[in-house]
Structure 1
Amino acid sequence: MKIGDLSRRTGVPTRLLRYYEEQDLLHPDRGANGYRSYPEAAVRDVQQIRGLLDSGLTTEMIRAILPYLSGPEEIVLPAEHLTPRTAALLEGHIDRIQARIDCLARNRDRLSAYLAAVRPDGGAADRRPAAGP
């Protein structure tokens, strides 16, 4: 499929698809006319790249793990392929995620305490149940 088709199917602008190629995340074939040709699997790859970027991974980290992704929820990285550098990148990212989680939890608790202190009903009026499946 051509880059425009991949863009339409994934919702990712062609400019970003070219960037992913520059970052060695996508590997389209090139026709004699120079046009990019993407395999069907590129749709899944782009979706995984977007999900990983949205979770805060850098293109460097994604480049290291993308060949081992077997689906959106599973990474199959044989231990012999996990380099010390990749492990350090992933551990650093895990630490940053945990720091964000801790910060969000502190902010949630402070806001909840504030509402409980200023509302006669303890702030319960604005609490909504979590969305179900």
Structure 2
Amino acid sequence: MALGEGSALLIGELSERTGVSARLLRYYEQQGLLRSARAANGYRHYAVEDVEKVRRIRSLLNVGLPLRTVELLLPCVVDASPRVIPCENLVATLRQEVARLDEASNEIDRCRTLILDILHRSGADELVGASTGS
């Protein structure tokens, strides 16, 4: 990206357009998800296309994918929608993530059952119905 062509955004502008804090944008850059050019004054300059890239990063993170997986899948995601392009290992990576989420969900269910059992045995059944909506 060449600086001074009007196509570069400062970090504050990228933050404003995406709703992502400058601190988080710097973190994404540190993790290799974003790249910036540096001006002589040290300011970061991002491409206008990085607005959509940051939106894709946020979308992937918002569905529960870890950063390492986002890095792998980022080139496969067309835009902030769920549309994807064919990408090597995409299906295998997503299946691994579904398995990881299933394990986490099972653990949450196990913990919830344990807590409800403790409440039941403590005679606090009235709290159980109020907190679970039953």
What is the TM-score when the length of structure 1 is the normalising length? 0.65
Q: Which residue of 1 is the match for residue 34 of structure 2?
A: 26
Query: Is 1:70–1:76's contact at 8 Å kept on the other side of the alignment?
Result: yes
Query: Is 1:3–1:38's contact at 8 Å kept on the other side of the alignment?
Result: no
Q: Which residue of 1 is the match for residue 88 of structure 2?
A: 82
Q: What are structure 1's unaligned runs of at least 5 residues?
A: none
Q: Which residue of 2 is the match for residue 96 of structure 1?
A: 100
Query: Is 1:65–1:77's contact at 8 Å kept on the other side of the alignment?
Result: no
Q: Percent identity?
A: 31
Q: Which residue of 1 is the match for residue 24 of structure 2?
A: 16
Question: What letter is aligned with 2:71?
Answer: R
Question: What letter is aligned with 1:82?
Answer: E
- Count of residues in correspondence between the two structures: 123
CA distance in 1, matches of 2:66, 2:127: 39
1:36 to 2:45 alignment: yes
Quote how far apart the aligned CAs of 1:105 are. 0.7
Question: What letter is aligned with 1:57?
Answer: P
1:109 to 2:104 alignment: no
CA distance in 2, matches of 1:35, 1:101: 40
Q: What are structure 2's unaligned runs of at least 5 residues?
A: 1-8
Q: Which residue of 2 is the match for residue 128 of structure 1?
A: 133
Deviates more, 1:15-24 or 1:99-108: 15-24
What is the TM-score when the length of structure 2 is the normalising length? 0.64
CA distance in 1, matches of 2:71, 2:130: 47
Give 1:69's match in structure 2, choosing from 77, 93, 96.
77
Quote how far apart the aligned CAs of 1:68 are. 2.3
CA distance in 1, matches of 2:12, 2:125: 57
Quote how far apart the aligned CAs of 1:2 are. 1.4
